[in-house]
Amino acid sequence: AQSVTQLDSQVPVFEEAPVELRCNYSSSVSVYLFWYVQYPNQGLQLLLKYLSGSTLVKGINGFEAEFNKSQTSFHLRKPSVHISDTAEYFCAVSQGGYQKVTFGIGTKLQVIP
C-alpha cells in the first residue's frame, strides 16, 4: 500500500518570499512522485515529476522539488512566489505500471501582496 501526507493544509506567504510545501510518502517499493497545481474550479495541472535519476527536479512556473529517499520526502519549493501562484497544490505517488495514483489532501498556498 502507498500513502501521501501533506503536512500543511494552508500556507500563507508574502509575495516575492520563498516557499516550501511539504510532502512525505510511504511505499514498500520504488515510486514515481508528482506535484500538481489546481486553480479554483479547474482541473489539476502537472507541475513536475520524479521518475529516476537526479533528485532535484525542475518544473513549470519556476517550481522545483527534491526527492529524498532516506526521508521519504518530495518537498516543493519556489525561491520567490507571485500572486498568480495562489492555488492548491497536490502531491501524488504511483508505483508504476498502471497502478493507481494516490493523492495527498492538498496544500492551499495563499500569496499575500
C-beta closer to another protein: residue 19 or 48: 48
Extract the C-alpha cell encoding 98: 498502471
From residue 29 to residue 68, what is the string marking binding to another protein with x (rule CB under 8 A)? ---x-x-x----xxxxxx--x-x-----------------
* Nearer to another protein (CB atom), residue 73 or residue 94: 94
All 3 cell numbers of residue 48?
A: 513536475
Kindly write down the DSSP assignment for every residue of 54-79, as one continuous string: -SEEE-GGG-EEEEETTTTEEEEEES
d(CA 8, CA 47): 18
Please report whether residue 90 would count as binding another protein according to CB under 8 A.
yes
DSSP secondary structure letter of residue 42: S
Closer by beta carbon to another protein, 42 or else 113: 42
| SS3 label, residue 32 | strand
CB of 90 to another protein, least distance (A): 7
Dist. CA 29–CA 51, nearest whole Å: 13
From candidates 73, 85, 104, 111, binder to another protein by CB under 8 A: 104
Q: Is 22 in the site for another protein (CB under 8 A)?
A: no
The footprint of another protein (CB under 8 A) covers: 9, 32, 34, 36, 41-46, 49, 51, 90, 94-101, 103-106
